[in-house]
Structure 1
Amino acid sequence: MTETGENKQLLHLVFGGELKNLEGVEFKDLSKLDIVGIYPDYASALTAWRAKAQQTVDNAEMRYFIVHMHRLLDPGVKPV
């Protein structure tokens, strides 16, 4: 919690796309990336990630990721 009693905002990006091969994280076509959204906490991002991963379970090359944007924006701050 912050000094005002609110939970700290920890932004997370959920996105995905088809990979060139299953051993890497290089995408086939960057113009076709699926930007699912930006979420205020990990739990919300995980829910969105699970939903998209479940929708694409039949496509082995399709992968979704959660990016911890708060770590990129302020790398010196440790999450609570």
Structure 2
Amino acid sequence: MPDKQLLHLVFGGELVRPDSQEFVDPKKLHIVGIFPNYDEAQKAWRGATGATIDDAHMRYFIVHLHRFLDPANKDHDHHH
């Protein structure tokens, strides 16, 4: 059996302030991609972060899409 697919979205952009999570222009977000598991997402995240290391306002995030993607399961359990 292959591992359960756990989609992760990697994206980033220019923050209003380095300590905020508010983007200057959400229309200009850099979507790195959607990856089948956390390891791959983290590799992509590292690459994107490394490429923008000199810009304190550029920040990349990993979103655990699989936690939000379960329309069939109405009673979500929110325990991690």
Percent identical: 55
When the two structures are superposed, what TM-score results if normalisation uses the length of structure 1? 0.86
How far apart are residue 76 of structure 1 and its match? 3.1
Aligned to 2:73: none
Aligned to 1:76: 77
Counterparts of 1:1-80 in structure 2, within 5 Å, are 5-74=1-70, 75-76=76-77
When the two structures are superposed, what TM-score results if normalisation uses the length of structure 2? 0.86
Structure 1 gap segments, 5+ residues each: none
Q: CA-atom RMSD, angstroms?
A: 1.6
* Cα distance between partner residues in 2 of 1:22 and 1:71: 27
Residue correspondences, number? 75
Give secondary structure in 2 for the equivalent of 1:47: helix
2:15 is aligned with what amino acid? L
Structure 2 gap segments, 5+ residues each: 71-75
